[in-house]
Structure 1
Amino acid sequence: MTAYVVFIRENTTNPSQLEIYAEKSPAGLKGHPVTPRAVYGKHLVLEGPKIEGAVILEFPTFEEANAWYNSPPYQEALQYRLKGGNYRGFIIQGV
């Protein structure tokens, strides 16, 4: 069953770290069956605190989404994202 990885950026704390993340993160996608569905596009917060943006990535299964997130290439890039901003992230199974 399809699964989605969702990252919500609440605020940026270090733009230079996010630039490094942007350079490194594409390598983490190689070999993984991922389809980007939304990447920091226009958004409107309907409930809760404001956000800077969000990313939604689609994977064929929950396990494949989790495998991508925990893969060594993505984990290498992840450290820069976490130094660059405050995020919420989760995997949710589709219907």
Structure 2
Amino acid sequence: MAAYIVFLRERTHDPAQLDAYARKAPAASAGHALTPHAVYGHHEVLEGHDVEGVAIIAFPTLAEARAWYDSPAYRDARAHRLRGADYRAVLVEGV
């Protein structure tokens, strides 16, 4: 069953770290079946606290999503994302 990771960027602290993330994150997709559905485009918060940006990435399974998220290449990129901004990330199974 499909799975999605939803990233919510709440507040940026260091744009240079987010730039480093943006350079490294694409290489982390090599060998992983992922499809970006939304990547920091226009958004409207309908409920809850405002966010600066939203990304939604689809995977064939929960296991594939975890494999990507826990991969060495993405762990390296993720460190820059987490130094650059406050984020929430949610892994959710599709229907």
TM-score interval, normalised by the smaller of the two chains: over 0.9
Asked whether 1:62 is paired with 2:62, we answer yes
Kindly tell me the number of residue pairs found equivalent between the two proteins. Answer: 95
Q: How does 1:81-92 map to 2 (within 5 A)?
A: 81-92=81-92
What is the distance in 1 between the residues matched to 2:60 and 2:94? 10
- Offset, 1:90: 1.3
Q: Percent of counterpart pairs with the same letter?
A: 54
Corresponding residue for 1:75?
Answer: 75
Match of 1:36 in 2: 36
Cα distance in 2 for partners of 1:50, 1:82 equals: 18
Q: TM-score, normalised by structure 2?
A: 0.98
TM-score normalised according to structure 1 size: 0.98
| Distance (whole Å) between structure 2 residues aligned to residue 67 and residue 4 of structure 1 | 13
RMSD (CA atoms): 0.5
Gaps of 5+ in 2: none
